[in-house]
Amino acid sequence: MEIHTDIYLGDSKDQLARLAVDSVDLIVTSPPYADQRKDTYGGIHHDKYVEWFLPISGQLLRVLKPTGTFILNIKEKVVDGERSTYVMELIIAMRKQGWLWTEEFIWHKKNSYPGKWPNRFRDSWERLLQFNKNRHFNMYQEEVMVPMGDWAKARLKKLSDTDKIRDTSKVGSGFGKNISNWIDRGKAYPTNVLHLATECNNKNHSAAFPEELPEWFIKLFTKRLDTVLDPFMGSGTTLMVANKMQRHSIGIDIVPEYCDMVKQQLRPIELYLL
Ligand SMILES: C[S@@+](CC[C@H](N)C(=O)[O-])C[C@H]1O[C@@H](n2cnc3c(N)ncnc32)[C@H](O)[C@@H]1O
């Protein structure tokens, strides 16, 4: 069985035009954040970020299948003592562009560096925004279930009366819970918070994903032989993981060295799978 990997060198805005309409099952990506890492690959001013990103998200909307999902890793920085609002402005602009903003996951960076700031604490999380084209999209929740663990031992030992019947949601969501249903079950669904360490040292890139991050979303939103795209691939973490999980992958980066590096690293994996 052959797993395809396509790597394109250039600006995503232009390169994405080469991909077919409705051809991608999952997009997982971390674009440069506003004004960040200027020395490495050029920052975009936070006032110009939405204007810069919209042509790219327009192309992503075109190439994503109607059943597909787009996961965008992003975090607003502090400008003049205030959090910049460009991420919020981007969400609103993307909704106008035709995207549904379906969910927001939090990446809790378990090992972020300690530090001291006069008016804030250590930043240890980033946003993982989920966008879709439709309300009904492919999602394989059983693939990311977690062991019940200690929560079950402590919580299920002392069931209250409301725990034993279906308890109508107090927030009017229409969903209730019957906690006793979970007795004797080995696994539960996870929350929308991902507790993952950051990863920089063992990759030739200053802002690489930990492998578990694309892995979790690839499990949740794709099946074997589906296609995963990272339009800002950097060191190619998304592509490597997709490849190992037997998904086709497409990567784009504007820096030639990253494209060469990813091609070199992917070669042995591709040969192994052929
Ligand atoms: C935050 S890094 C991605 C890191 C990646 N997730 C990894 O695991 O290594 C963003 C990448 O986007 C690339 N980039 C910046 N502007 C771009 C553009 N207009 N088109 C394509 N790639 C771009 C940079 O070269 C950089 O490698």
* Strand residues in the chain grouped as ranges (E): 5-9, 24-29, 64-74, 78-79, 82-83, 100-109, 125-132, 146-147, 187-188, 193-196, 227-230, 248-253
> Are both 201 and 234 inside the same structural domain?
yes
Query: Which candidate, 151, 126, 138, 147, places its Cα nearest to that of 213?
Result: 126
128 ligand 1 Cβ < 6 A: no
User: Under a CB-based contact definition with an 8 Å cutoff, are residues 266 and 14 in contact?
Assistant: no
From 136, 161, 188, the end of a domain falls on 188
30 ligand 1 Cβ < 6 A: yes
> Are both 89 and 155 inside the same structural domain?
no
> Are both 200 and 225 inside the same structural domain?
yes
**Of the ranges 53-67, 162-176, 201-215, 235-249, which one carries the lowest mean pLDDT score?**
162-176
> Are both 224 and 158 inside the same structural domain?
no
Residue 255: predicted pLDDT: 96
> Are both 127 and 221 inside the same structural domain?
yes
Does residue 224 surpass a pLDDT of 50?
yes
- At 40, the pLDDT band (50, 70, 90 cuts) reads very low
215 ligand 1 Cβ < 6 A: no
Q: Burial letters for 178-206: b for 16+ Cβ neighbours within 10 Å, e otherwise? A: ebeebeeeeeeeeeeebebebbeeebebe
From 162, 188, 214, the end of a domain falls on 188
Does residue 99 surpass a pLDDT of 70?
yes
What is the whole-number distance in angstroms between the Cα of residue 123 and the centre of ligand 1?
22
Euclidean distance between CA atoms 196 and 257, whole angstroms = 27
Query: Which candidate, 2, 23, 17, 7, places its Cα nearest to that of 227?
Result: 23
Does residue 246 surpass a pLDDT of 70?
yes
> Are both 110 and 53 inside the same structural domain?
yes
Burial of 86 (0-12, 13-18, 19+ CB in 10 A): buried
What is the whole-number distance in angstroms between the Cα of residue 34 and the centre of ligand 1?
13
Euclidean distance between CA atoms 26 and 270, whole angstroms = 20
> Are both 131 and 172 inside the same structural domain?
no
> Are both 180 and 234 inside the same structural domain?
no
Does residue 274 surpass a pLDDT of 50?
no
What is the whole-number distance in angstroms between the Cα of residue 37 and the centre of ligand 1?
11
Residue 20: predicted pLDDT: 98
> Are both 128 and 198 inside the same structural domain?
yes
Does residue 146 surpass a pLDDT of 70?
yes
What is the whole-number distance in angstroms between the Cα of residue 152 and the centre of ligand 1?
41
Output the average pLDDT for the chain.
Answer: 87
| Ligand 1 atom with minimal separation from the 255 CA | 25
Which CA distances in Å does 118 have to 121, 124, 180?
Answer: 8, 17, 47
Substitution candidate for ligand 1 out of 30, 40, 203, 253 with most atoms within 8 A of CB? 253
- φ, ψ (nearest 5 deg) of residue 135: -70, -25
As for how many domains the chain has, the answer is: 2
Does residue 248 surpass a pLDDT of 50?
yes
Domain that holds residue 180: 148-188
Bridge partners of 107, per DSSP, are: 126, 194
Per the model's pLDDT, the better-predicted residue between 271 and 219 turns out to be 219
What is the whole-number distance in angstroms between the Cα of residue 32 and the centre of ligand 1?
6
**Helix and strand totals (H; E) in the chain:** 9, 12
Substitution candidate for ligand 1 out of 209, 232, 265 with most atoms within 8 A of CB? 232
Residue 168: predicted pLDDT: 59
Mean pLDDT, range 217-246, rounded to an integer: 97
What is the whole-number distance in angstroms between the Cα of residue 179 and the centre of ligand 1?
44
Task: Check residue 208 and report its DSSP letter.
Answer: P
Does residue 217 surpass a pLDDT of 80?
yes
CB atoms within 10 A of CB 85: 12
217 ligand 1 Cβ < 6 A: no
